A and B are shown apart, each in its own frame.
Chain A
Amino acid sequence: MAVIALTGQPNVGKSSVFNALTKLRQHVGNWPGKTVEKKEGVFTLPDGRQVSLIDLPGTYSLTSHTIEEIVTRDFVLENKPDAIINVVDASNLERNLYLTTEILELGRPVVVVLNMMDLAGQKGYRIDLQALAGALGLPVVPVVATRKTGLEELYKLIEQSIDGKNQNRGNFHFSPPVEELIRKITARLQGYYFHNYPYRWLAIKLLEDDPQARELVAATVSAADLTALQEEAGQLPDRATRLAEERYRWINGVLDSAVRRERLGELSPSDRVDLVLTSRWLGVPILLAILAGAFSLIFKLSPPLENLIGNGFAWLSRLLESSLGPVLPGWPVHLLTDGVLAGVGTAMSFVPLIFITFTVFGLLEDVGYFARAAFVMDRLLGPLGLPGKSFISLLMGYGCNVPAIMAARTADNSRDRLLTIMVTPLTICSARQVVAVALIGAFFQPRVAPWVMLGLYLLGFVLISLVSIILKTTVLKTEKNPFFIELPMYRWPNWSNIVTYAWHKTKSYFRRAATYIAVVSALLWILANFPGGSINHSILGVLGQWMQPLGHPFGFDWRLIVALMAGFAAKETTLATLGVLYHANEANIGAVLTASIPFASGLSFFVFSMFYIPCLVTTLTIRNESGSWKWTLFSVVYTLLLAALLSLAAYHLALALA
């Protein structure tokens, strides 16, 4: 099957082109071991041939400074796709063609898709397509991806490229002195083998001081050639700037011959909206109002659907019990109903929440608001070491950590995304809020209860900033760079894109989390019920008793340890387990806990249960989203240690004060 790579700068409509071509025949995952989304799809050409389409991450350029850039260029260099479709935003051609000049250097046939032709028209741009194609030296096809116009022409060009009939490699070139230098460096490199990489590309990257290219060349060529290469490159002062300027100079030449554009600095309608939405006084209140609206919509729409799913599973559970009960002994039936079905039911009840969340957030992203939210929030979050966009995940986390971690995808780069994923479990989700309310009710006077709750939120906030500052200065080390962000023009939402996006998010959650959930829930049920059928004497119970010495410094007896272990399945299970172990029901659990657990132990347990390891579904979501078991383990271990530390302090402080 022929392979086509889809490239483009961020926000040019790449996903729209991808969806228009592949429809629903697509698979969304991660690049192996990376927090970068990978989309693959298949489509059929008019002549019946199947084509595999790989959507590469949106990047502004192809130097090796971000994981997205490395993924994009490594894919092209190593897999040598039959053609590259370079999607450019026709209403923002000058900057978009910068990436085109870099793509041409990769040595594959390129087709330029001029997307957003409608917006270019609205902005008053007049594009002479023939002149543009001539000046670029590349086939150009005008498209409005959201309306699926221009696809026939695109199919034709793809067919030609696959058949080797697209021999155009573009007209881009640097100035004669730079070209001469590139020729010299290329000649020197030609004596060596660099994984089949194009020599000219490598020479240009060396001149641009690309870290990966520098390393590769240094590890391959002789010492004498390395010195000669350094001398040659040294002939060009401030090389990276010079090369970038020359790329733009060529682009301007192309545009002068083919496009008529607006005057710089004229206020567009989008700019006028920004005067309000990013304003110093209104920006944050508007952001809060929009998010409050979004969250209330999400948390209003999903519970009825969650109940529906819950009832469905309860019905299925009863059906299984009544039909299998008479023919099978009790435990396999309970394993199936109380273990597997209950676990899968819990996981499934997140499905409406996830779908609705991503529809609402997809909408905010699609219209271009998220970039503004990050711009407005960066001022406040920056000092806490958090990227502006993580605000959305953190706020969402107070509802549920699962979609919050998935929402970290809106981060600008994979490091910020990973950082957000790592700190999100420190937000107190609604399940933990239920536990918190019950425990605070049991261990504190009613008049201080609200203050304890407030203190809990504040503690969470402090921990989030502390952990992110520590991560940013250690394992996720990044230079503290001054902030900037591209603010794309506001656009009307494209519902089919938004729903496709939400659907893929839901599907990927469903497929991966739900499969693990079945196994792990069955295992947890067995641990909690075997042998003997009650948690007190079960493996979990015995494990708890065996671990009692570990709980001693925190003031935990074995029952509290068992409740914490059970809470891993779902945080609200902590309460139910305490109920079983202390022989309490929903009505009297507060009084029973007050009477059975000393205050210091209760406080310590409260703190521990709020911050220890994320629940099972969250943990699996972290695995999905980070694409790494290592980071998943890291989040489990660090939250466990943090909770232990806090609860140790709380226990001894309470003892000392008492």
Chain B
Amino acid sequence: MPASPRKCIDNPQKSWPRRILGLLFQTDSCRCGEGNAGPGKECSCTCNKNHLCATREWMVEQSSAGVPDGLTLNTLPAGGKARIEQLYLPPALKKRLLSMGLTGGTEIAVINKEGGRMIIAVRDSRLGLSPEMAARITCKPA
């Protein structure tokens, strides 16, 4: 595993206490995979040799998820805007999100982002996304 891949997602295997600690102690400014990164900017956080982000509650996204390196929704800050590129999701879920308006080229805006979860504006409506979901949607600057 390379020493410092940029894309990190919430570690689904991490234990309960660590999940709670993560919620309590991670701050937006040091969150791996998002942190201070704005559209087009690179993630400022590095991952350690145990394949965990330095903040320990995040893991390096496995290549099986198939999300290519680049801008994903979870890297956008509150107030940021972008255009959807691709959804890296299982077919049924992907179709659900497509029908809810997250199709390629659609402009979205981040209304609120806290603790990794975000509320986005898409086609007149608001969607709440978990960090794991946001990490599977690639986008490009609006």
Contacts and interface: CB of A to CB of B under 8 A. Distances in A.
Interface of A: 60-61, 63, 65, 91-95, 98-99, 208-209, 240-241, 244-245, 248, 261, 264-265, 267, 270-271, 274-275, 278-280, 371, 375, 378-379, 382-383, 479-489
A208 to B, nearest CB: 7
B114 to A, nearest CB: 4
B109 A484 contact: no
A26 B123 CA distance: 34
Contacts of A91: 124
A159 B87 CA distance: 44
Contacts of B16: 383
Q: Is the interface of B mostly helix, strand, loop or mixed?
A: mixed
B112 A63 contact: no
A244 B95 contact: yes
A484 B115 contact: no
B111 to A, nearest CB: 5
Contact of B114 (A244, A280, A479, A486): A280
A245 B127 contact: no
B95 A485 contact: no
13 contacts: A244-B95, A244-B103, A245-B105, A261-B124, A264-B108, A274-B126, A278-B117, A278-B119, A483-B132, A484-B128, A486-B125, A487-B128, A488-B125
Given A484-B133, A487-B126, A241 B103 contact: yes
A110 to B, nearest CB: 18
B81 A61 contact: no
A245 B104 contact: yes
Contacts of A93: 124
A490 B67 CA distance: 34
Contacts of B111: 265, 267, 271, 274
Given A482-B132, A483-B133, A209 B91 contact: yes
Contacts of B110: 265
B103 A245 contact: yes
Given A279-B114, A486-B127, A487-B119, A60 B96 contact: yes
B112 A274 contact: yes
Contacts of B107: 264
A379 B23 contact: yes
Contacts of B21: none
A487 B81 contact: no
A265 B109 contact: yes
B66 interface: no
B95 A265 contact: no
B90 A248 contact: no
A382 B93 CA distance: 17
B128 A95 contact: no
Contacts of B97: 484
Contacts of A241: 87, 94, 98, 103-104
Contacts of B108: 264
B97 to A, nearest CB: 7
Contacts of A488: 125-126
Nearest to B107: A264
Contacts of B30: none
Contacts of B127: 484-487
A481 B90 contact: yes
Contacts of A261: 124
B129 interface: yes
A240 B23 contact: no
A278 B128 contact: yes
Nearest to A261: B124
B63 interface: no
B61 to A, nearest CB: 12
A65 B99 CA distance: 12
A275 B117 CA distance: 12
Given A245-B103, A245-B104, A271 B114 contact: no
Given A94-B124, A95-B123, A248-B103, 8 more contacts: A63-B92, A63-B95, A65-B95, A271-B121, A274-B111, A280-B23, A479-B90, A482-B135
Contacts of A479: 90, 93
A353 to B, nearest CB: 31
Contact of A240 (B98, B115, B121): B98
A409 B117 CA distance: 25
Contact of B94 (A99, A240, A382, A485): A240
A485 to B, nearest CB: 5
Contacts of B96: 60-61, 65
B38 interface: no
B56 interface: no
Given A264-B107, A265-B109, A383-B19, A481 B125 contact: no
Contacts of A245: 98, 103-105
B112 A264 contact: no
A485 B105 CA distance: 21
Closest 3 CB pairs of A and B: A265-B109, A61-B99, A482-B133
A249 to B, nearest CB: 9
A37 B91 CA distance: 26
A78 B98 CA distance: 27
Contacts of A244: 95, 98-99, 103
Nearest to A65: B92
Nearest to B106: A248
A482 B118 CA distance: 13
Contacts of B129: 482-484
Nearest to A270: B126
Contacts of B121: 264-265, 271
B12 to A, nearest CB: 8
A479 B133 CA distance: 14
Nearest to A208: B95
B130 A378 contact: yes
Contacts of B112: 271, 274-275, 278
A310 B39 CA distance: 64
A212 B109 CA distance: 35
B115 A485 contact: no
A264 B126 contact: no
B101 interface: yes
A479 B135 CA distance: 17
Contacts of B125: 92, 95, 486, 488
B7 interface: no
B136 interface: yes
Contacts of B87: 241
A94 B123 contact: yes
Contacts of B94: 240-241
A379 B130 contact: yes
A487 B119 CA distance: 8
